[in-house]
A and B are shown apart, each in its own frame.
Chain A
Amino acid sequence: MSLDLAITGLGLVTPLGVGREAVFEGLREPDAATQEAFRGPSSVLEAYDRAHVAEVWGWDPREHLGARGHRSLDRMTQFMIAAARQTLGDAGLARDGALTVYDGDRVGLCTATAYGSLDAISELSRVAELEDPRYINPTRFPNTVANAAAGYVAIWEGLRGPNTTMIDGHCGALDCVLNAATHLRLGRADALLVGGAEVLSEPLYVALAKLGLLRDAHEPERGLCLGEGACYLAVERADAAAARGARVLGKLSGYGSAFEPPARESRLVEASPDAVSRAVRDALDEAGLAPRDVDAVASSHADLPALDDAELAGLRDVFGDDVRVAAPKQVFGETFGAAGALGLAAGLAWLAGCPVAPLVGGGRDVAGERPPRVVVATTVGFYGNASAVALTAA
């Protein structure tokens, strides 16, 4: 049985801009979008002149959150509030800061992040270590727990429904689709904001650089490029969306997730082709679709061969060579917890006529063909975890 969930709104804070229209406009010209997203130099990582990252350039919370009240909110929380506000407006669920369709008790959030509280932990840890534990800032302390950001969104936007934060590395935002589907099917909420957020931070950059995973001047062709952003989809049951006459951007039809650990006991980091193919097959089964129905894949491809090769092998196992595989991360950068949501956002842009690009893995060039009707978003984790979501045209 298909998930049958309507996406009635999309809100984003990305290096391409804030809001669905700005981001879709950027995605019309994917090569230019990549240039734009990585225009640098980074202000968050200004101490690291090798940093090649996709930053939310010139972020000013006052533009999106008003003049006051956000001083103690960290960067990720600010992104999430702005994205949530955009999403509610885009879905026609709120106007002038007030919910208009559903009671606030019936609207909730399901948010993924992977390293969202790292920045706050680092900031306080630095004070504790170099000055005194007594001097850590009490208003920054809540930011050290991963769910606080979503708690702030609830406060700012008046959303008092189920409020879940999920962590599954790269895969969390796609996993939020199942969590939301469960709540909506059981009548626990009328609408949920589903997505994820991640931010650039010094500790994350330093750790990944230390592990040799990042692209820099010495390896200009290979390696992760970090990005940042927040992205929410407004999700409602398809029947409820139809009943209120909502505009539907696309439908979430199926979900799959799998874990395949490394065969060798001593290994920890190893992506799995089998997990990818199983997740995709399960998502298609639930959607009632066959591999040949799929027009494009919003993949997890991030110029990190250890993960990319596994993903492409898993996709080939399902689709052969007969599908376009694109890499939204070449535009948005690697955003871990937000990645699945940005993949779905790219998919929605393709359904709306943006070109399926940038292509990777030798997908055939079909410029000028009709827009896709079915997109599969995939995410691949470091440890053998993978998730997939089938996205279909309204």
Chain B
Amino acid sequence: MQRVYVTGLGVISSIGIGRRAYWEALLAGRSGASEVESFDTAGMGRSIACEVKGFDERDFLTAAEQQRMARCSQLAVASTRMAVEDAGLEPAALAGPRTSVVLGTTMGEAHLLEEQQQRWFLGGTDAIEANLLPRYGTTLLPIHVARALGARGLVQAIPTACAAGNYAIAYAADLIRAGRADVVVTGAAELLERLQFAGFVRIGAMSPDRSRPFDADRKGLLLGEGAATLVLESARHAEARGAAPLAEVGGCGLACDGFHITRPDADGRRIADSMREAIATSGLRPGDVDHVNAHGTATAANDVIESRAINDVFGAHRPAVTSIKSMLGHSMGAAAALEAVACVLSLDDGVIPPTIHLDHQDPECDIDVVANAPREVPLEVVLNNAIAFGGQECAVIFAKPGRLPESADPPGVARASREAAR
């Protein structure tokens, strides 16, 4: 089996643009939360979110690109350009059919949709701007990114809500291992959008002030936005060009609760299963995992159930857990990808970013949370956990290059190895 390496990272977030700024902000425990500026929250009952500020598409996109794509795609392309540069790849190096693009999102170009729908509701069909309609569609995110790179392999969007980033990364690694691509540009992008904001308020899931994962006084999530890109390469491709890998992508665990559309199953069984499968298909045991980057949304249900699942998988081992949603809020489709970037940077730098606003840890969240200050610790294996609206789960393992056993994830043995890991 081909090893799959992460060789480049790109980030656009509410706390920093670019890998370095993002990492410094995460380690400094900086919150991206502030009063929403992109739409009017009057009368909505909530007004705080983690918005990207200071992103100028002109820094990253040509005039023709700005013209043909809407804002979510612009973020995805900009983040991709950063990642490709970070990987030390010449822009032309990824041209051709051996490069694919797999991206996650939840709402894609929802801004464009909302704007045109407003025009339609208030002004009738004559008010719709037909020339802008072709820019709508979740399909377009990977299409625009592929076009920016000259990539001509498979283009895929995976809209599995809050777990979309992990689903995309896992599938990207699958494609490389199966020999279907040498390089896959993967990750996710999401924009803060008014209807989503109203919806989360309406279902009683949104905090009025801060995001406090695992805290006894947590009051729900804050929404965020951003984009994150990982360049994944086959070991052969990376070695041939002398690239220094940042991390290796291990196995993944995919599962579904099949329980409730917005609430995780209280026993967390399938969440635990997905983590176990990710570990087992990496050729590892739970005790090998040094750190879990949790889904950690700061909703009442998620944090308790996820903690339960973590304890179920790891028992007395107690890996260090953090939720960077305390700083970034919940960036929906982009969340797991932003967290994956943090996982890779943690491995590279030997430090775990903190869970901020943790004043009184909920006794029902009985896990080792990296509270309020970063923790320096040698890291070899990290697990990125994600749980979606809809009940879909996906856990992904990242490891120091060369740390995983040879021939991880061989065909047909996932089940046997998962049983063995129990």
Q: Classify A-B as touching or not with yes or no (CB < 8 A).
A: yes
Q: How far is the CB of A269 from chain B (nearest CB, A)?
A: 5
Does A146 make an interface contact (CB < 8 A)?
yes
Q: Scan A260-299; emit 1 where CB is below 8 A from any B CB, else 0.
A: 1100011011000000001000000000000000000000
Contact A383 B97 (CB under 8 A): no
Contact B130 A211 (CB under 8 A): yes
Does B55 make an interface contact (CB < 8 A)?
no
Enumerate A110-145 residues with CB–CB distance to B below 8 Å. Answer: 114-115, 118, 121-122, 124-126, 128-130, 132-134, 136, 138, 141-142, 144-145
The answer, among A115, A125, A203, for a CB contact under 8 Å with B137, is A115
Contact A144 B158 (CB under 8 A): no
Does A206 make an interface contact (CB < 8 A)?
yes
Contact B277 A188 (CB under 8 A): yes
Complex formed: what's the CA distance from A161 to B67 in Å?
Answer: 41
Contact B153 A125 (CB under 8 A): no
Contact B167 A164 (CB under 8 A): yes
Task: Knowing A133-B194, A163-B254, A186-B414, say if A155 contacts B156 (CB, 8 Å).
Answer: no
Q: Which residues of A contact B44 (CB under 8 A)?
A: 133-134
Does A154 make an interface contact (CB < 8 A)?
yes
Q: How far is the CB of B227 from chain A (nearest CB, A)?
A: 17
Contact A128 B156 (CB under 8 A): no
The answer, among A152, A167, A206, for a CB contact under 8 Å with B128, is A206
Q: Which residues of A contact B270 (CB under 8 A)?
A: 105, 160
Contact A141 B203 (CB under 8 A): yes
Contact B139 A167 (CB under 8 A): yes
Q: Which residues of B contact A151 (CB under 8 A)?
A: 256, 258, 261, 388-392
Chain-B contact segment, one of A177-185, A244-252, A362-370: A177-185
Complex formed: what's the CA distance from A186 to B122 in Å?
Answer: 51
Task: Knowing A114-B137, A385-B139, say if A257 contacts B256 (CB, 8 Å).
Answer: no
Does B134 make an interface contact (CB < 8 A)?
yes
Contact B411 A187 (CB under 8 A): yes
Contact B139 A114 (CB under 8 A): yes
Contact A136 B151 (CB under 8 A): no
The answer, among B142, B155, B195, for a CB contact under 8 Å with A144, is B195
Chain-A contact segment, one of B111-119, B293-301, B319-327, B336-344: B111-119
Complex formed: what's the CA distance from A206 to B388 in Å?
Answer: 31
Enumerate B253-267 residues with CB–CB distance to A below 8 Å. Answer: 254-262
The answer, among A142, A165, A183, for a CB contact under 8 Å with B159, is A165
Q: How far is the CB of A335 from chain B (nearest CB, A)?
A: 15
Does A372 make an interface contact (CB < 8 A)?
no
Contact A125 B167 (CB under 8 A): no
Does B247 make an interface contact (CB < 8 A)?
no
Contact A161 B256 (CB under 8 A): yes
Contact B156 A148 (CB under 8 A): no
Contact B139 A126 (CB under 8 A): no
- Of the candidates B133, B137, B154, B270, the one having the most CB atoms from chain A within 10 angstroms of its own CB is B154
Contact A183 B389 (CB under 8 A): no
Contact B154 A142 (CB under 8 A): no
Q: How far is the CB of A199 from chain B (nearest CB, A)?
A: 16
Q: Scan A146-178; emit 1 where CB is below 8 A from any B CB, else 0.
A: 111011101101111111111111000001001
The answer, among A108, A130, A164, for a CB contact under 8 Å with B158, is A164
Q: Which residues of A contact B134 (CB under 8 A)?
A: 211, 268-269, 382
- Of the candidates A138, A183, A209, the one having the most CB atoms from chain B within 10 angstroms of its own CB is A138
Does A358 make an interface contact (CB < 8 A)?
no
Complex formed: what's the CA distance from A258 to B203 in Å?
Answer: 41
The answer, among A160, A169, A211, for a CB contact under 8 Å with B258, is A160
Q: Which residues of B contact A126 (CB under 8 A)?
A: 117, 121
Contact A147 B122 (CB under 8 A): no
Contact B261 A142 (CB under 8 A): yes
Q: Which residues of A contact B146 (CB under 8 A)?
A: 259, 261
Does B317 make an interface contact (CB < 8 A)?
no
The answer, among B45, B199, B257, for a CB contact under 8 Å with A154, is B257
Does A30 make an interface contact (CB < 8 A)?
no
Task: Knowing A158-B258, A203-B117, A383-B139, say if A145 contacts B155 (CB, 8 Å).
Answer: no
Contact A163 B138 (CB under 8 A): no
Contact B195 A125 (CB under 8 A): yes
Does A68 make an interface contact (CB < 8 A)?
no
Q: Which residues of B contact A132 (CB under 8 A)?
A: 43
Contact A163 B391 (CB under 8 A): yes
Contact B261 A144 (CB under 8 A): no
In the complex, residue of chain B having the shortest beta-carbon distance to the beta carbon of A170 = B139
Contact B130 A210 (CB under 8 A): yes
Contact A165 B158 (CB under 8 A): yes
Q: Which residues of B contact A223 (CB under 8 A)?
A: none
Does A207 make an interface contact (CB < 8 A)?
yes
Q: Which residues of A contact B121 (CB under 8 A)?
A: 125-126, 129-130
Complex formed: what's the CA distance from A385 to B152 in Å?
Answer: 9
Complex formed: what's the CA distance from A269 to B198 in Å?
Answer: 33
Complex formed: what's the CA distance from A268 to B180 in Å?
Answer: 26
Q: Which residues of A contact B391 (CB under 8 A)?
A: 151, 154-155, 163
Q: Scan B198-225; emit 1 where CB is below 8 A from any A CB, else 0.
A: 1101110000000000000000000000
Q: Which residues of A contact B195 (CB under 8 A)?
A: 121, 124-125, 128, 133, 136, 144
Contact B143 A384 (CB under 8 A): yes
Contact B143 A182 (CB under 8 A): no
Complex formed: what's the CA distance from A106 to B255 in Å?
Answer: 9
Q: Which residues of A contact B273 (CB under 8 A)?
A: 105
Q: Which residues of A contact B306 (CB under 8 A)?
A: none
Q: How far is the CB of B408 from chain A (nearest CB, A)?
A: 11
Task: Knowing A188-B414, A258-B152, say if A108 contacts B137 (CB, 8 Å).
Answer: no
Q: Scan B136-178; emit 1 where CB is below 8 A from any A CB, else 0.
A: 1111101100110001111111111100100100010011001
Does B229 make an interface contact (CB < 8 A)?
no
Q: How far is the CB of A43 from chain B (nearest CB, A)?
A: 20
Contact A155 B260 (CB under 8 A): yes
Complex formed: what's the CA distance from A114 to B157 in Å?
Answer: 10
Q: Which residues of B contact A40 (CB under 8 A)?
A: none
Q: Report the 7 A-B pairs with minimum CB-CB distance, sorted nearest first.
A: A151-B390, A133-B198, A162-B254, A163-B256, A154-B258, A146-B159, A265-B64
Given A115-B137, A124-B195, A210-B130, 9 new contacts (CB under 8 A) = A129-B122, A138-B199, A147-B164, A147-B388, A155-B258, A168-B142, A169-B139, A178-B154, A182-B171
Q: Show 29 A/B contacts (Cβ-Cβ < 8 Å), sorted by A.
A: A106-B415, A115-B137, A121-B113, A124-B195, A125-B118, A129-B121, A133-B198, A138-B202, A141-B203, A147-B160, A151-B261, A154-B391, A163-B254, A167-B157, A168-B142, A175-B154, A178-B180, A179-B171, A183-B254, A186-B174, A187-B416, A203-B120, A210-B130, A212-B130, A257-B153, A259-B143, A268-B135, A383-B140, A385-B155
